[in-house]
Amino acid sequence: MADKADAAEAVRLSGDALEGVDAGPFKMLADNLNIGILVHREFKPLYANHALAELFGFDGPEDVLAFDGVDGLYTTDSREIFRERHRARLRGESPPSEYILQARRLDGAFIWVNNRPVRIDWLGEPAVCTTLIDVTERMLAQDALKVSEEEFRRIFENASEGIFRAIPEGRVVAANPAFAEILGYSNPQELMDNVHHIGEDVYVDAPQRETLRNMLMAGKRVDGFEVQWRRKDGSKIWILMNARAVQEGQGMPMFFEAAVIDISARRDIEHNLVQAKEQAELANRAKSEFLAHMSHELRTPLNCIIGFSQILMGEMFGPLGHANYLEYVGDVHTSGLHLLNVISDILDISKIEAGELEITDEQVNSGETLITCTKMMRERAERAQLMLSTEFAPNLPVLRADGLRIKQILLNLLSNSVKYTPPGGRISINASINEHKNLVFEVVDTGIGISAVDMPRVLAPFEQVRDSHVLTSEGTGLGVYLSKVLAERHGGHLEIDSVPNEGTVVRVTLPEARLIYDE
């Protein structure tokens, strides 16, 4: 770099030179332009305006003219380009008239400048006059755009979903590898070379294709559209498509673009599940019909067994003789009643599964119902050495319900409590109105309780909790399930609170809409 005295002399000489070519107006114009102007010969600066000095971070043009060579303002790679094109221009050749180079400011920051050099005569000798414009922001934006495009290209190429773009005439103009693979082609180019009209060559169902096209042409975005396609080998697949039309203004769409996935395996699974469900429902109906038929068939002989055993127990036609006979007849009668209850429960389950269980509304006195159920269970409770009590709020409203089914609910719950409460325990059956004005029946016992793990089994049909006590107990596991279903048929619900080895509370809640209050 030249010293300050040399720089000042260079400025004076450049001014003299401009004056010598009658460049007074030119110098004034050049000095005040906001575009950098640089005149040099063999890289030695001869003239620089204020805009150029500011571009490179100098205080004024004299700092630029103090340089031995202006090519030092550029980075290494750009410097070589700058030098070669400068020499070519001086040789009379025609290198590019405009190009972009990377330069370094005085503070070390890198910038991009657009160079537009022209050959001129300067004091009778050839020189180069270059205009320089800062294009750093544009270059950074282009770099960012390039990076973004590369990222989107990688996403496009590596996406597991098939992505394609087709023009309205049906030709595929862009596709990713996943899309080619879905249709059985080795690469996107092979697909685009062979699929001349995606609508006609790929879609199996023409009306479905037209439906999709009409939706897209109407400007609608299509999501979750399932359609059948034909692959390269002729096999058929099901695909799920999200698509839209890309329009410019209000005219014809420029193209359609879509993302697709092959859902053939899922469709096969769904088809198999539907078939399995239909078969299961058919088998279930057959089971229900069989159970209903068998229940009716078994009831007739059971009624005879129960009836004749009652006659024998009462010794209506004379004594039976040995005392054991009377005991055995009592066992037959008890077993017959138990079997009849089991058959009745199974018949109710069949009706429920067939949707044939009917609820008949009548006016039911809740208190009297509790007393009746308690009396019916009293003997069993005493045999099991249990204390059975009843409590209900005074002036309970009349319940509009199926009286027989309400008794069935309560007797099932009481029966379970008797079955699962050890000797010496207590059972109570209660009725009250809760804070929501609903009627609540509660059966409370001090029995073995139910763990949280076993609770789902208790609420399912034909299920029992598998512990040593229950395994020795009679029952089908239908009682709680039937009570739950019957409560729900009345618009209510059943819930259980239980602590193992402490006891259980079964709560049946019936809605206020079923209560009738005295005027």
Residues 399 and 503 in one domain: yes
- Of 334, 354, 374, which residue sits at a domain end? 354
Pair 251, 382 in one domain: no
374/422 same-domain check? yes
Residue 78 lies in a domain: yes
Structural domain of residue 218, as residue ranges? 159-262
Structure tokens belonging to residue 439: 């009627």
17 pLDDT exceeds 60? no
* Tokens 């068939």 found at: 297
Tell me the CATH number at 494: 3.30.565.10
How would residue 234 be classed by pLDDT, with cut points 50, 70 and 90?
very high
Mean pLDDT of 464-485: 62
End residue of a domain, out of 303, 334, 354 = 354
Q: Are 366 and 512 part of one and the same domain?
A: yes
Bridge partners for 53 per DSSP: none
Hey, what are 152's tokens? 């989107």
Whether 31 has a pLDDT exceeding 90, the answer reads no
Give residue 236's identity as a one-letter amino acid code: K
pLDDT bracket for residue 355 (50, 70, 90) = low
Task: Give the chain's end-to-end CA distance (angstroms, integer).
Answer: 113
One domain, residues 115 and 65: yes
424: in domain: yes
Residue 18 CB neighbour total at 10 angstroms? 21
Instruction: Using the predicted structure, report yes or no on whether residue 29 has a pLDDT greater than 90.
Output: no
Other beta carbons within 10 Å of 254: 14
Check residue 507 and give its pLDDT. 95
Q: For residue 472, is pLDDT > 90?
A: no
Whether 447 maps to a domain, the answer reads yes
Predicted pLDDT at 98? 86
pLDDT of residue 246: 85
Please indicate, yes or no, whether residues 112 and 257 belong to a single structural domain of this protein.
no
**Distance between CA atoms of residues 378 and 175, nearest Å:** 80
H or E element at residue 483: helix 479-489
Residue 354's pLDDT is 66
How many structural domains compose the chain?
4
56 occurs within a structural domain: yes
Contacts of 352 (CB under 8 A, 6+ apart): 482, 485
The predicted model gives 69-80 an average pLDDT of: 84
Q: Per the domain annotation, does 146 fall within a domain?
A: no
Q: Does 233 have pLDDT greater than 90?
A: yes
Q: Indicate the length of the chain as a whole number.
A: 519
For the residues of 7-20, what is the DSSP string, one character each?
A: HHHHHHHHHHHHHH
pLDDT cut 90: percent of the chain above it:
32
Do 408 and 512 belong together in one domain? Answer: yes
Q: Which two tokens stand for residue 2?
A: 């030249």
Is residue 152 in some structural domain?
no
Quote the CA–CA distance of 293 and 287 in Å, as a whole number.
10
Per-residue model confidence (pLDDT) at position 19:
42
pLDDT 10s digits, 132-182: 999 988 888 888 878 777 776 777 787 888 889 888 888 999 898 999 999
Q: Which two tokens stand for residue 113?
A: 């400048």
We report the CATH number of the domain holding residue 70 as 3.30.450.20
DSSP letter (8 states) at residue 260: E
Q: How many whole angstroms separate alpha carbon 132 and alpha carbon 304?
A: 117
Instruction: Residue 321: give its domain's CATH number.
Output: 1.10.287
Question: For the whole model, what pTM was predicted?
Answer: 0.45
Q: Coil, strand or helix: which one is 159?
A: coil
- CA count, 13 A, side-chain hemisphere, 180: 18
Does residue 211 share a domain with residue 341?
A: no
21 pLDDT more than 60: no
Distance CA 156, CA 177 (A): 9
In a domain, 453, yes or no: yes
Q: Using one digit for the tens of pLDDT, what is the confidence trace for 180-211?
A: 999 999 999 999 999 999 988 999 998 888 88
- Is residue 150 in a domain? no
130 and 107: one domain? yes
pLDDT of residue 81: 86
**Tens digit of pLDDT for each residue in 418-440?**
999 999 999 999 999 999 999 99
Q: For residue 504, what pLDDT is reported? A: 94
Taking alpha carbons only, the member of 207, 106, 214 closest to residue 168 is 214
Q: How is residue 72 written in tokens?
A: 């030092």
Tell me how far apart the alpha carbons of residues 485 and 505 are, in angstroms, rounded to a whole number: 18
Q: What per-residue string of b and e applies to 139-177 under the rule 16 or more CB within 10 Å gives b?
A: beeeeeeeeeeeeeeeeeeeeeebbbbbeeebebeebbb
What string of DSSP letters covers 274-331? HHHHHHHHHHHHHHHHHHHHHHHHHHHHHHHHHHHHHHHHTTTTS--SSHHHHHHHHH
Q: What is the C-alpha separation between 296 and 305, in angstroms, rounded?
A: 15
Burial of 355 (0-12, 13-18, 19+ CB in 10 A): exposed
Could you say which of 262, 288, 303 is where a domain stops? 262
342 or 517, which is more confident: 517
> Do 167 and 133 belong to one domain?
no
Mean residue pLDDT of the chain comes to 83
* CA 349 distance to own-chain centroid: 37
Cα separation of 262 and 266, whole Å?
A: 9
Amino acid at 161: E
Provide the β-strand partners of residue 172.
Answer: 166
**Do residue 393 and residue 504 come from a single domain?**
yes
Q: Are 429 and 390 in contact (CB under 8 A)?
A: yes
Residues 216-231 pLDDT 10s: 888 888 899 999 999 9
268-305 pLDDT, tens per residue? Answer: 888 888 888 888 878 777 776 776 666 667 767 777 78
Statement to judge: residues 252 and 273 lie in one domain:
no
